Amino acid sequence: MKEMSIVIVGAGPIGCYVGQLLTRQGYRVRIIEEHNEIGKPVHCAGLIGKKVLDEMRIPFPRESVLNRIDGGIVHLNGDCFRLRREEVAYVIDREKFDKAMGAGLNVTYGTRCVGIEENGRGYILETDRGEIKADAIIGADGAHSAVREYVHQKTPVEYLKGVQFRMEQAPSDINMVEIFLKKPYFFWSIPENEKIVRVGVLSRNPYYDLLDFIKERGFQGRVIEKFAGLVPFSHFSTFSKGNVFLVGDSAAQIKPLSYGGVYLGMRAAELLADCLCSERHQEYSSLWKRRFGRELAITLKARRYFHTLSEEDLERIFFFVKDNTSLIEEKADFENHAVMVWEFLKRPNVSKEILSILLKLVKNNFFQNEVNYATK
């Protein structure tokens, strides 16, 4: 098996991570990357849960950590509450992080995958610089994956557009992320240090929404950098076709409530590497589903419900959570959001009011087709 030639498309964090895992197992791995260097352009807020660091199978590049996060401040209509959890996450420099993940790997730069063709028992990877033969291909080529075209020609993918500004602006608390709920989306302000914050939103019209938000909050600081990117959502029945596999954003392995993708992408990379190493290639999708399928199904529904909440119901839920912050501080899992839904429902003081909101949402969404809040 180790004679197998594996080509990974995309040198993002997930492609590089699976590359490192396979290389360490003795595989011949080649990565092709459309850009001329790893880590640019950045399209990420760079908020990484501590679990990413704790569970990685290779040393976490600590030099990429810029700040430590001890919780969050959630805002709605001028009111707010704090959730404290010591060292729950880190703010990282994504360019440095990605470059460290790719160190020592065999990467061919400036080469874009444009298609895949079967070739006997293997494949021909078509690129803008010619053809590459491979026994197996791993698509780690992000939100607009070309490899996904081969695996899932027909499954629809929904996208949210994101924009983020890095601004000279003192955060209200250097170790707290701020979330500003504004239906149907939310804005974030992530402190990089005592002078710089990352302010962003994922929405239909993120650039103008963000400009309005910055004006509304009275942020006056200079904009140092601007980033944009896409977050994909879909429900794929499988992540592979033959020996062509999808991992990370190309497989829409994204948390539907916070839009974080690094944690789930890394867990998927480990499952895929384990399956390849133990010659159980075709078990990758089912193993992933067994581990994360339920969590994703629940949080995808929760996301859909959030979009259909009325302003009044959102306020009621906000105040209910505000009165129960200790539960979140105790039970919440930065990477597993479904846990909280169950913990709240188990609470004896879940009022009739909250239960009636939840029932109304379930009913409305059960009888409705998917609400079209997506942008393409």
Ligand X SMILES: Cc1cc2nc3c(=O)[nH]c(=O)nc-3n(C[C@H](O)[C@H](O)[C@H](O)COP(=O)(O)OP(=O)(O)OC[C@H]3O[C@@H](n4cnc5c(N)ncnc54)[C@H](O)[C@@H]3O)c2cc1C
- Closest separation in Å from C-beta 88 to ligand X: 13
Q: Which residues inside 46-65 make contact with ligand X, applying CB under 6 A?
A: 46-48
User: Strands 196-203 and 158-168, how do they pair?
Assistant: antiparallel
Rounded Cα gap, residues 220 and 9, in angstroms: 41
For ligand X, which is the closer residue by CB, 308 or 375? 375
Is residue 229 part of the contact set for ligand X (CB under 6 A)?
yes
> Collapsing DSSP states into helix, strand and coil, what is residue 352?
helix
For ligand X, which is the closer residue by CB, 48 or 309? 48
- Taken in order 356, 358, 359, 364, the sign of the CA dihedral is positive
Which alpha helices (H) appear in 112-243, and where do they start and end? 147-151, 206-217
Residues 6+ apart with CB under 8 A from 220: 169
Q: Of all helices (H) and strands (E), which one includes residue 83?
A: strand 79-92
Binding mask 25-44 toward ligand X (x if CB under 6 A, else -) reads: -------xxxx-------xx
Which alpha helices (H) appear in the chain, and where do they start and end? 13-24, 50-55, 94-102, 147-151, 206-217, 262-277, 284-288, 294-308, 311-322, 325-331, 338-346, 352-366
62: left (phi over 0), alpha (psi -120 to 50) or beta: alpha
- Judged on CB neighbours under 10 Å (0-12, 13-18, 19+), 5 is middle
Is residue 231 part of the contact set for ligand X (CB under 6 A)?
yes
Is residue 232 part of the contact set for ligand X (CB under 6 A)?
no
Closest CA to 255 of 236, 273, 231: 231
Is residue 102 part of the contact set for ligand X (CB under 6 A)?
no
Is residue 142 part of the contact set for ligand X (CB under 6 A)?
yes
Q: Which tokens belong to 244?
A: 């062509």
* Residue of the chain from 6, 7, 8, 11 that contacts ligand X (CB under 6 A): 11
- Closest separation in Å from C-beta 56 to ligand X: 13
Helices 352-366/311-322 angle, 10° precision = 140
* Residue of the chain from 6, 7, 8, 10 that contacts ligand X (CB under 6 A): 10
* Residue of the chain from 260, 292, 300, 303 that contacts ligand X (CB under 6 A): 260
* Residue of the chain from 22, 113, 138, 167 that contacts ligand X (CB under 6 A): 113
The closest residue (CB) to ligand X is 261
* Residue of the chain from 6, 7, 8, 15 that contacts ligand X (CB under 6 A): 15
Is residue 71 part of the contact set for ligand X (CB under 6 A)?
no
For ligand X, which is the closer residue by CB, 75 or 198? 198
- Closest separation in Å from C-beta 55 to ligand X: 13
Q: Which tokens belong to 201?
A: 């939103």
Q: Which tokens belong to 43?
A: 């399209």
For ligand X, which is the closer residue by CB, 61 or 265? 265
Is residue 284 part of the contact set for ligand X (CB under 6 A)?
no
Is residue 209 part of the contact set for ligand X (CB under 6 A)?
no
- Taken in order 345, 351, 355, 360, the sign of the CA dihedral is negative
Binding mask 153-182 toward ligand X (x if CB under 6 A, else -) reads: ---------x-x------------------
Site residues for ligand X per CB under 6 A? 9-15, 32-35, 43-48, 112-113, 140-142, 146, 162, 164, 200, 202, 229-231, 248-249, 254, 259-263, 265
